[in-house]
Amino acid sequence: MEPITGPILYVLIAWGIVTAVFMLLLIRRSVLASHEDDQIFLDAAQEHMAREQREIIEKINTLSRPLMTSGIASGALLLVLAGLWLYNGLKNF
């Protein structure tokens, strides 16, 4: 088995970095979502709890665009990586 070199190596490194960022964003969103309550019944004295829930929802919504972008980039890089691997395999065949 020959070592991975050239463009495949660079795309593999980029895919690994983008996928790691994607996974970290997924973990962050799931941690935030675990602190979110589906239904909360508050009176006027517990306004701070309602404010905390609104802040959590705002943070989750803020993560949606970077999460989608990194997921799409990871998938695209994986397709490019597969295409390069197939191209090299067919070229050396």
Render pLDDT for 1-18 as a digit per residue (tens, 0 to 9): 678 888 999 999 999 999
Axis crossing angle, helix 7-35 with helix 47-92, rounded to the nearest 10: 160
pLDDT in tens, 26-79: 999 999 888 776 666 666 767 777 788 888 889 999 999 999 999 999 999 999
Q: How many CB atoms lie within 10 A of CB 74?
A: 20
Give the total number of structural domains in the chain. Answer: 1
CB-CB contact of 57 with 36 (8 Å): yes
Does the pLDDT at position 85 exceed 90? yes
Whether residue 1 is contained in a domain is answered as no
Helix/strand/coil for 21: helix
State which residues form the domain around 86. 7-37+46-92
pLDDT (0 to 100) of residue 93:
82
Whether residue 2 is contained in a domain is answered as no
Whether residue 56 is contained in a domain is answered as yes
